[in-house]
Every structure is written in C-alpha cells, then in structure tokens.
Amino acid sequence: MALAVPVAFLAARNTTPSPLLRPLALLIIVSSRSIDSLIWALLLVVFLGPGLLAGILAIALRSIGFIAKLLYEAIEEIDPRQVEAIEATGASRWQVMAWGIVPQIMPAFAGIGVFRWDINIRESTVLGLVGAGGIGLELNASLNVLAWSNVSVIFIAILGTVVASEWVSAKVRHAII
C-alpha cells in the first residue's frame, strides 16, 4: 500500500504534478497488473531462492498495480468543488490533498485495502506451492511425503484463516458503508 498510494496520485489526472510523470505511473500500474502473482513468485524464487521474501515481494508487486489502479480511479472521481473551495482559501498543494482529496477517497481506500488483503491471504497459500514460503510450502512438503494428518491440519488452518479474513472484511465493509 505504501508504494501504491504515491503511484495512484501520480497516475490521476487531477493530482499528478507533471504530465510527464503520469505515463510513468501508468506504466508501473500496467506492468504490475499484467504479471500474475504466481509468475512473480516463480521469477523471484529463481532470483532470490525459495522462501518468504520471494512470496512477500510477489504479492507486493502484484498489489501495487491493483491498489494503484483502483485508487487513481477513485481520485479522478472526487468532487472538484471541495478541492476548489480549499484552494480558494490559499491552501498549499499538501493542504489541498490533506483536506480536499484524502477525505473523499478514504472510504474507497479502506475498501480497496481490505479487499486486497483478503486476496493476498488466498494467494499466499498458492505461492507457497511454488517455493515462495508460507503455509503453501508446508502443504507442498506434507503432500510430497503423504503426511495426510499434516495436510488435514494445514487445510483446517487455511480454512480458518480464510473464514477469519472474510469476517474481518465484512466488518470493515459494513463500517465503511
């Protein structure tokens, strides 16, 4: 999320400081979104070796484009009258962002963040199967040695995590709406 937010502000027509930066931000978004997390994980396992770092980076690289795209679209859809009113007071560019733009996009930002978190939890299991660490790696190891009791426990843990994720996601969405 930390990298997606600045990219989103650079990609949005109404907040980019330079028309030259917008195509660069859009290139980052398209590049990130065009390669699936599984492909990122396979590439990163080759370069970094198997482990958690490859999985974390794969999910992060995919998330940047997803979050930035949805967020820059939300930024472009804000009510310009609120921004104009704040600009009319003589506010700086940062004050306009803090008081005119950010409050308008916070519900979308929270919803996007929760939705991506939910997706990332699900993807992390699959990425472990290709050596990118996490519970998927343990699942793969248990499947390879036919340790069915371990596989059952791992499936229950995955199911519990997904159910908890769904519950948290529903609570946050309910609080936003």
Output the six-digit token pair for 101: 């733009």
pLDDT digits (tens, 9 = 90+) for 18-36: 888 999 999 999 999 898 8
Q: CATH number, domain at 102?
A: 1.10.3720.10
Residue 149 to residue 155: CA distance in whole angstroms: 10
CB 65 within 8 A of CB 73: no
pTM metric for this prediction: 0.80
Q: How many domains does the chain have?
A: 1
Spell out the residues 6+ positions from residue 86 whose beta carbon is closer than 8 angstroms to its own.
95, 96, 99, 100
Provide the residue range defining the domain that includes 118. 4-176
CB 101 within 8 A of CB 80: no
Query: Is the distance from CB of 9 to CB of 76 less than 8 angstroms?
Result: no
pLDDT digits (tens, 9 = 90+) for 75-114: 999 999 998 999 899 888 889 989 999 999 988 888 888 8
